Amino acid sequence: MSLTSSAFRNMIKQVRFHCLNKSRIIIQDNSFDNRRFLIIPEEGPYRRFGSITIRASKAPEPKEAPKRQKGKRSIAVINGVKMTLISDFQDDSCGYLYTEGGTENYMSAMKICVDTFDCIFERLFIDFSKQDFEQYKPEIAIADEWQHVTFYYERVSNEEIYRFCENLKVTKSFDFHLSFQPNFELPPLFRSYIENIQLRGDWLNGEVLCSLNCQNVTLYDTELNARELLKLVTNWYNSDKKVLRNVEIYRNEKKFARLDLKAFNPTKFKVDDRKSEEEEDWAEIHSKYGYDIKRKDGMIASICQDGHNFQFFVWHCTFTDMKS
pLDDT per residue as tens digits for the range 240-287: 989 999 999 999 999 999 999 999 999 887 665 555 545 554 444 545
**β partners of residue 38:** 26, 53
Contact by Cβ (8 Å): 88, 66: no
- pTM score > 0.85 for this model? no
Regions in the chain scoring below 70 on pLDDT: 1-21, 29-36, 41-50, 92-93, 130-133, 154, 270-289, 318-324
Q: Which pLDDT score is estimated for 113?
A: 75
Q: Is 271 in a helix, a strand, or coil?
A: helix
pLDDT tens per residue across span 138-183? 777 788 899 999 988 767 788 888 888 888 899 999 999 888 888 8
Phi first, then psi: what are they for 229, rounded to 5°? -65, -40
Closest CA to 320 of 266, 267, 283, 265: 283
* CB-count burial class (<10 Å; 0-12, 13-18, 19+) for 221: middle
Instruction: Give the total residue count for the chain.
Output: 324
By DSSP bridging, strand 36-40 and strand 24-27 are: antiparallel
Closest CA to 157 of 178, 134, 129, 130: 178
Q: Which pLDDT score is estimated for 323?
A: 53
Tell me the residue type at 260.
D
